Amino acid sequence: MDTIFALATARGKAGVAVIRISGPQAHMAAARLGGGDLPARGMVLRVLRDERGAALDEGLILTFSAPASFTGEDVAELQVHGSIAGVAGVLSALGRVEGLRQAEPGEFTRRALENGKLDLAQVEGLADLIDAETEAQRKQAHALLEGALGRLAETWRRDLIRAAALIEAVIDFADEEVPTDVTPEVRALLDTVARDLEAQTAGVKMAERIREGFEVAIVGAPNVGKSTLLNALAGREAAITSDYAGTTRDVIEVRMDLAGLPVTLLDTAGLRDTEDAVEGMGIALARKRAEAADLRVFLAEAGEELEVEFRPGDIRARPKADQQSDPTGAVSGLTGKGLDWLTDEIGRILSDRSASAGLATRDRHRAAMERALASIRVARNILESGPDMYDIAADELRNAIRALESLVGRIDVENLLDEIFASFCLGK
C-alpha cells in the first residue's frame, strides 16, 4: 500500500496549515522531517528539516496508529505555519521521501471507506458537510456523516433477513407438518420495512432541495421594483435598476442564506406583451424559470394577473410600499419596508416544506430504496397466495437485502466510487 500525503487545509495564506500523511510509511516520513522518534499516538512540537538538515518550519506532529485513525492506517499530521512557501517546502520534502506520493482528491476518505471506518452514505455525508453553506445543509450532512442512514438500512436489512429465514423454513418443511404459521410475522416485518422505505423515499426530494438549494423567483410587471428588491435582499448591486420599463432581460441569480436555508433568488424580466424581440426573449426565459422555481414572489397588486400561474404556497407582495396609500402587504426595496416580513415568509414556507426531508439525500439512495421496495411488494403479494411460490418470495427478499447493502456501499459500488471521490477536495 502506498503512503500518501496532501495539504488538508485550503491553499493560500493562513494561520496554520495541516499536511496529512497516511499509510505504512507515514510515521517514518514524519519522523524523518521531525528529527527523531515519534509516539505511536500523540503530539509533539518539532523543528521540521529537509534531508540536508536545513530548517523548513517549526510545527506540531500528530501521530495515529492503525487502525485507530481517520483512514484506519498509520497517520501523521504536520501542523505548520500557513505560509505558502513554508507549506510548499514541506510538501516537496515529503515528495522526496521514498515510498511517498501525493494523494488524489478524496483518497484519504476512500481509504477510510475501504478500511470500514465509514460507509458509503457517511462518505456522501462528509462530502456534503464540506460543501455545506447553511445551517440546514450542515444538519442534514451531519446526520448522514454520523451514520444515521446506515443504521436505518441495517435495521431494515435485519428485518428482511429474519423474514427471508422464516419463509425459507416453510420451504424446508414443505413435505412435513409446518410447526407454526409464519405468515403473520413475515407480513408484519415486510409492512414495517415497506412503510419506513416509503417515508424515506418520499423525503429524498426535499433533502435534495436542501442539499442543492431552493430557487425563489421574483416576478411582476416591468418597473415594479423587482431588481431593486433583489439587490436589497442580497445586500449588493447584483442587478441593474432604472426607471426604464424593461431593464432586466437575463435572469439574475443570487445565492443567499435565508433563515438557515440555501436559497437562490432569481430576478426576472418584467412580464408584459412586447414588440421588442430581445425583451420578448427575456420574458420567455423569465416565465420558464419562474414556473420551474420552488417558490414565486409576485411583486404585484392583489388581483393583478400575470402570465405566470400563482400556485398555493406562493407569495404576493404589493410593490413600492412607500408610494401606497394603504401599505398592507407591501414591500419596498428602496426604503427596506416589509423586507423582514418577506424574508420571514419565504423562510417559513421553505422550512415547513423541508420538514419532510429524510435521511436519504440523493438519487442514488432513492433508486436503491425503490428497488428494495419493489422486491418487498412482490414478496408481500406472494405471501397471500400460499406457500407454492415461497421460493420466489425468498429470492425477492434477497434482492431487497442486496439493494439495501448497495445503499451503504457494502456491495455493487465499485463503479460509483470514482465519480463520488472525484468531487472531493484534495487532502480529504
Ligand X SMILES: Nc1nc2c(c(=O)[nH]1)N(C=O)[C@@H](CNc1ccc(C(=O)N[C@@H](CCC(=O)O)C(=O)O)cc1)CN2
Binding site for ligand GTP (CB under 6 A): 220, 222-228, 241-243, 245-248, 269-270, 320, 322-323, 332-334
Q: Which is nearer to ligand X, 17 or 204 (CB)?
A: 17
Q: Which is nearer to Mg ion, 266 or 397 (CB)?
A: 266
What letter represents residue 299's amino acid?
L
Contact criterion met (CB below 8 Å) for 427 and 106: no
Contact criterion met (CB below 8 Å) for 402 and 375: no
Is there binding between residue 156 and ligand X (CB under 6 A)? no
Is there binding between residue 227 and Mg ion (CB under 5 A)? yes
Other beta carbons within 10 Å of 337: 17
Rounded Cα distance between 65 and 42, Å, is 9
Candidates 370, 376, 369; CA nearest to 395 is: 376
Task: Name the phi and psi angles at 381, rounded to 5.
Answer: -70, -40
Q: Is the dihedral of CA 27, 28, 33, 35 positive or negative?
A: positive
Q: Which residue is nearest to ligand X (CB)?
A: 68
Reduced to 3 states (helix: H, G, I; strand: E, B; else coil), residue 131 is: helix
Q: What is the dihedral of CA 206, 201, 113, 147, to 10 degrees?
A: 80
- Closest approach, Cβ 109 to ligand X, in A, equals 8
Partner from Mg ion, ligand X, ligand GTP, none contacting 381, C-beta within 5 to 8 A by type: none
Interaction residues for Mg ion, span 236-295 (CB under 5 A): 247-248
Task: Decide: residue 118, CB within 10 A, 0-12 exposed, 13-18 middle, 19+ buried.
Answer: buried
Is there binding between residue 77 and ligand X (CB under 6 A)? yes
246 labelled ligand-binding: yes
243 labelled ligand-binding: yes
Q: Stretches 61-69, 138-146, 304-312, 382-390: which one binds ligand X (CB under 6 A)?
A: 61-69
What letter represents residue 245's amino acid?
A
428 labelled ligand-binding: yes
Alpha-helical runs (H) found in 35-74: none
Q: Which is nearer to Mg ion, 79 or 248 (CB)?
A: 248
Contact criterion met (CB below 8 Å) for 298 and 219: yes
Q: Which is nearer to ligand GTP, 158 or 236 (CB)?
A: 236
228 labelled ligand-binding: yes
Is there binding between residue 68 and ligand X (CB under 6 A)? yes
Is there binding between residue 69 and ligand X (CB under 6 A)? yes
User: Among 64, 298, 390, 424, which residue interacts with ligand X (rule: CB under 6 A)?
Assistant: 64
Long-range contact set of residues 176-181: C-beta below 8 Å, sequence gap at least 24: 178/387
Q: Which is nearer to ligand GTP, 339 or 349 (CB)?
A: 339
Contact criterion met (CB below 8 Å) for 298 and 314: yes
Q: Stretches 65-73, 135-143, 160-168, 203-211: which one binds ligand X (CB under 6 A)?
A: 65-73
313 labelled ligand-binding: no
Q: Which is nearer to ligand GTP, 230 or 373 (CB)?
A: 230
What are the distances in angstroms from CA 417 to CA 2, 108, 111, 291, 371? 19, 13, 11, 35, 20
Partner from ligand X, Mg ion, ligand GTP, none contacting 223, C-beta within 5 to 8 A by type: ligand GTP
269 labelled ligand-binding: yes
Q: Which is nearer to ligand GTP, 125 or 282 (CB)?
A: 282
Binding annotation for (6S)-5-formyl-5,6,7,8-tetrahydrofolate: 20, 77, 117, 428
Binding annotation: 20, 77, 117, 223-228, 242-248, 267-270, 428
Q: Which residues bind ligand X (CB under 6 A)?
A: 18, 64, 67-70, 77, 117
Binding annotation for GTP: 223-228, 242-248, 267-270
